[in-house]
Amino acid sequence: MSNLLPTQFFKCLSDETRLSLILLIHAEGELCVCEMTYALQEVQPKISRHLAQLRSCNLLQDRREGQWVYYALMPQLPRWALSILDEANVGASSLVVEARKRLSIMGGRPARQTEYC
């Protein structure tokens, strides 16, 4: 179980881009940077910077598969944090809803060889 404090959790998610990223990843299971840049219509350096911040907060983990790096939620996130993300996705902002729609029609998405355990 994670030692994540609520203040740390909310501080990490206080930015709209980071919140959108984590909600999108939570909804999709795992995503690579190219999928997130396409879905959120943001430039790669901005997405990568925010992903690094989410990793430093211990909210995300990553794995490399060939040229791709995939991001998923840390499996050790406490139940209360997952519950908050679940509720936030139910009432997701139009930004996240639109991002998921864009992602569903994205061509050339990388094929995953393995999934997180």
Instruction: Using 50 as the pLDDT threshold, list the residues of the chain that sit under it.
Output: 1, 115-117
Tell whether pTM > 0.95. no
> What is the pLDDT at residue 109?
79
CA torsion through residues 4, 6, 12, 18, sign: positive
> What is the pLDDT at residue 95?
73
Given CATH 3.30.300.30, say whether it is the number of domain 6-104.
no
State residue 65 phi and psi, 5-degree precision. Answer: -140, 100
> What is the pLDDT at residue 87?
86
> What is the pLDDT at residue 1?
44
Q: Are 73 and 59 in contact (CB under 8 A)?
A: yes
Please state the domain extents for the chain.
6-104
